Chain A
Amino acid sequence: MIGIVNYGAGNIFSLTSALDRLKLNYGMINTESDFDQYSHIIIPGVGHAGAAMEKLQQSGLADVIPLITKPVLGICVGMQLLTAHSQEGDAVLTNIIPVRTLLFDKKLGIKIPHMGWNNIEIKDNPLFAGIEDKTQFYFVHSYFIEYNPIFGIATADYGLKYAAAIQRDNFFGVQFHPEKSGQAGERLLLNFSNLKS
């Protein structure tokens, strides 16, 4: 069963609706002891990374998350929380995956936020099982995670090549919104739920 880290950063109705459509069971994680009930953990999040990190710390869950050995999936700002630092609010984050979250540079001739469907280049990874290379996912963000060949498992190109998905051990993160990315997104959520602990 999937546990959703419930720390008050953004709305999770779309995420739980997607899990309902996939007939995946889930529950909410409000305190440290709740982690034990779940086999897979999702960290959602929209909005401001610095503010989200503060909320995560206030919830008392920030120190526990790096110790998790079950599969963890961070979505959008939830993914950014896994990184070392964000330029958004000059925030120190969990540093589970030692990469940086940076602001898109409009000098690259791009519109900000990056909003819409973007194709991604996928490395062979169980999270993307059955999903073709160059499949499009739905993105909405102004900050991005720098590409790193060790931790990057998918890249997107928007002014520059950056990390669309990252992984370190049992920790996964996706910048796009699988719950809003049509069938491909639903497949990804299903793949995540099938990852072995």
Chain B
Amino acid sequence: MLSKRIIPCLDVKDGRTVKGVNFVDLKDAGDPVELAWQYAQQGADELVFLDITATHERRKTMIEMVKSVARQLNIPFTIGGGITSIADADALLSAGADKISINSAAVKNPTLIEDLAKVFGVQFVVVAVDTKLVEQRNMVHLNGGRLLTELETLQWIKQAESLGAGEILLTSMDHDGTKQGFDCKLLDQVCKLINIPVIASGGAGKTEHFTEVFSTTGVDAALAASVFHFGEITIPDLKTELNKHHIPVRLCK
């Protein structure tokens, strides 16, 4: 049976992780390699690194960081932020990234999804979608929710799947940062609409939110940042709790 995945997301700027992290035994909370390794030890199933400087400053995700992570990490990881071409993706793949996540570049140039899938296979291509309610309609947004597009979220996701996306990472900007739970209603609609894996993101505040999203929707994975970084939820506790609710997870010893 396929397990539901728990994915911590690390924001990276200039090759250093940002946002506070308070693991007790961490020597350098800004070192993405050490942080990634700690998460893998705790039982994270996968990691996402998001280069937050990428979109605004056109900065390419640092290949050296990806290599260092790949050397140490024995679980899969995804790199997102500022990927706009086959060459960007190829450099990340060669550096050891398992998947890449594209967002703005896919909206601006949907054939990029098709091209990436053709060259690297659909399993390499995660399409990240940031959604926000505008007059009761879920609309795709760019630049961290600041820029409204003309794309309706469900339609765009369907299109991304047909172009060759291997996975959808859906972040609800209305829920992100609220710690009030995932957007289960929308995630349920998305999972019924497409036949590729879906990662839920935005709104995780407590363990019950993970139980809820896995019990009420067909999502394959749930992603969160601050609740893990600040130790509000630990991955072993979370997985034990999910297991109690008969949600299939990978328990680490």
A17 at the interface (CB under 8 A from B): yes
Could you tell me which A residues sit within 8 Å of B by CB distance? 11, 13-14, 17-18, 20-21, 46-48, 106, 111-119, 136, 138, 140-142, 157-158, 177, 179-183, 185-186
Residues of A within 8 A of B93 (CB): 11
Nearest-neighbor residue (CB-CB) of B167 within chain A: A115
Contact present for B96 and A116 (CB under 8 Å): no
- Is the beta-carbon distance between A111 and B1 smaller than 8 angstroms? no
Give chain B's interface residues, CB within 8 Å of chain A: 1-3, 5, 40, 45-46, 67, 70-72, 74-76, 93-96, 98, 120-123, 166-167, 195-197, 220-221, 250, 252
- Known A-B contacts A115-B220, A179-B74; the reply to A13 vs B96 at CB < 8 A is yes
Q: Which of A18, A117, A158 has the most CB of B within 10 A?
A: A117
**CB–CB A158/B122 < 8 A:** no
Contact present for B71 and A115 (CB under 8 Å): no
Instruction: Assess the B70–A17 pair: CB atoms within 8 A.
Output: yes
Closest beta carbon of chain B to A100's beta carbon, Å: 20
Please name all residues of chain A whose beta carbon is closer than 8 Å to the beta carbon of B2 when the two chains form the complex: 114, 116-118, 158
Q: Which residue of A lies closest to B74 (CB)?
A: A182
B122 (CB) vs chain A CBs: closest residue:
A113
Given contacts A17-B96, A182-B40, contact A116 B220 (CB under 8 A): yes
Q: What are 22 sample pairs from A and B whose C-beta atoms fall under 8 A apart?
A: A13-B70, A13-B95, A17-B70, A17-B71, A17-B72, A21-B72, A47-B120, A47-B121, A115-B123, A115-B167, A115-B197, A116-B2, A116-B3, A118-B3, A119-B1, A136-B250, A138-B75, A157-B1, A177-B76, A179-B74, A180-B75, A182-B74
In the complex, chain A residues whose CB is within 8 Å of the CB of B122: 113, 142
Q: Is the CB of A117 within 8 A of B96?
A: no
A136-B250, A142-B122 given as contacts; is B76 within 8 A of A180 (CB)? yes
Instruction: Judge whether B70 and A14 touch: CB under 8 Å.
Output: yes
